Amino acid sequence: MDKPTDRVEFEMMLLGRHVHLSAHSKRTSASLDRSAYILLSRLTMQGPMSIGQLSDAFGLDASTLNRQTAAMVRAGLVERIPDTEGGIARKFRVTDEGAQRLEEARTELVGAFDSIFADWSAEEVAQFAVCLEHFNASIERLDGRPWPRP
């Protein structure tokens, strides 16, 4: 581990392991699967989007997004609506149920982070958030798919 990026690689490997184990061991009624959580978050921030827009935003093929959104429609998390700009494609909009489930899942995750950061100072948590945002923005810049932020 001669370079800082060697340490980053190692810590990211561990983070991936922790996230994977946590996702499988702590599922509650509020929990959403990863794809639903991410799609609902994007639709909440950006508003209704078509499969084509979602494909561009996520870099995923339409068939993958069709499967994911169909499952979300069946679960009552999103609904199909006409394109208000007159396009032939339908758009997906978050339902009240989807918004409620997303908020419950976020509350659950924030509570978990509060526990993780219990022995950190507020300044340390804020600095970590700044570094994490910078890290994600660098990935988005290289990928060409910026994520909307509040």
**Cβ distance 118 to 112 under 8 Å?**
no
Mean pLDDT of 111-140: 95
pLDDT tens digits, one per residue of 58-110: 999 999 999 999 999 999 999 999 988 777 889 999 999 999 999 999 999 99
Q: What is the DSSP letter of 148?
A: P
Residues 75, 35: Cα–Cα separation, whole Å = 13
pLDDT of residue 24: 60
pLDDT of residue 18: 86
Q: What percent of the chain has pLDDT over 90?
A: 79
Domains of the chain as residue ranges with CATH: 27-143 (1.10.10.10)
Residues 43, 78: Cα–Cα separation, whole Å = 9
pLDDT of residue 19: 81
Residues 6+ apart with CB under 8 A from 34: 23
pLDDT of residue 132: 94
What band does 31 get if pLDDT is binned at 50, 70 and 90?
confident
